[in-house]
Amino acid sequence: MKNFELTILGCGSAMPTTRHYPSSQVLSYGEKLFMIDCGEGAQLQFRRNRLKFSKLHHIFISHLHGDHCFGLIGLISTLGILGRTGELVIHINSEAERIFRPHLDFFCRELPFEVRFEPLPRKHEVIYEDRTMRVSSLPLKHRIQSCGFLFEEKEKQRHLIGDMVKFYNIPIKELAGIKSGADFITPEGTIIPNERLTRPADPISRYAYCSDTTYLEKLIPMIEGVDLLYHEATFAEDNKVRAKETFHSTAIQAATIAQKAHVKKLLLGHFSARYEEDSIFLKEAEQIFPNTILAKEGLHINI
């Protein structure tokens, strides 16, 4: 079974503080690392959490505000110094190449690998897919185009029951089909139902990342029942008006989305620098959605 683990590199908002780094996360799945946002200091946190640069697969940037993307050039430069050769794909706003390409040409002009900017859509659709993982876009509502991401495992194969495979003397060439759900037909023509030969597949894991956005109920059907929801909680209720003005969310609004979407666990982050204690966000969110935790640098969560 592949590991599906989230590491928080930064969970602060735009104003730097001594408590939090700007937004950045890494999702580990099998031998691949997927970075989600890349604020300043992301590569330092990458090192601090003993993550391997060689396993970094794709980068997903929610929007073009500095606290979510100012770490990109430094990270790419480091990857070049380390001798990376494989293509790096950055899923990002369509304006990004016009902005970042001149910086790459000046600071990283002899990169041993290609950097490809893959424009994000403005609707909910699959933006990355491999044999075992699927990533979809989640359109958010912010001051500029903003996009969340849904990471989900693909359906897994059923488990063979060894004793039944031996009992029916099933040829090796038939096993792959049976694991995928096929029945077995004996040489005599008898149909052996798949349920007799296999046990159910392991459940898939799903993670949704939603930052930055105002309260947005359109998200609910897209993230219904996810194992873990990261939702921004820039403000507490004392700044609810400010949250609306800046197209951000409060902790209670994030908890309400989690409750209505029936998610299993809520992770809050993107905390405003005006609060000296993050505990206020947890206290308010738990009134609506008890299974809430706070993001913090170095936090590892098995999904």
Collect contacts of 240-249 with beta carbons under 8 A, ≥24 apart: 243/214, 244/214, 246/143, 247/141, 247/142, 247/143, 247/212, 247/213, 247/214, 248/142, 248/212, 248/213, 248/214, 249/213, 249/214, 249/215
pLDDT digits (tens, 9 = 90+) for 183-199: 999 999 899 999 998 99
How high is the mean pLDDT of the chain? 95
Contacts of 7 (CB under 8 A, 6+ apart): 25, 26, 27, 28, 49, 51, 298, 299, 300
Give pLDDT tens digits for 186-237: 999 899 999 998 998 888 999 999 999 999 999 999 999 999 999 999 999 9
Percent of the chain at pLDDT exceeding 70:
99
19 with 275: CB under 8 angstroms?
no
Number of residues in the chain: 303
Both tokens assigned to 258:
């989690």
Q: Which pLDDT value is given to residue 297?
A: 97
Nearest-angstrom CA–CA distance, 123 and 50? 35
- CA dist 107 and 43 (Å) reads 17
- pLDDT confidence of 2, banded at 50, 70, 90? low
pLDDT for residue 91: 98
Given this structure, which CATH class describes domain 4-156+202-302?
alpha beta
pLDDT value of residue 157: 86
Catalytic residue list contains 202: no
My answer on whether omega of the bond before 67 falls inside 30° of 0, hence cis, is: no
Contacts of 211 (CB under 8 A, 6+ apart): 23, 37, 62, 68, 140, 148, 230, 231, 232, 269, 270
The residue-averaged pLDDT of 25-40 equals 96
Where are the chain's structural domains?
Answer: 4-156+202-302, 159-199
What is residue 1's predicted lDDT score, i.e. its pLDDT? 47
The residues near 50 (Cβ < 8 Å, ≥ 6 apart) are none
37, 67, 212, 227: which one is catalytic?
67
Give tens-digit pLDDT for 131-142.
999 999 999 999
Q: What is the pLDDT of residue 202?
A: 87
Averaged pLDDT for residues 149-161: 92
Greatest distance between any 2 Cα atoms in the chain: 75
Least confident of 157-161, 287-291, 298-302: 157-161
Q: Residue 234's pLDDT is what? A: 98
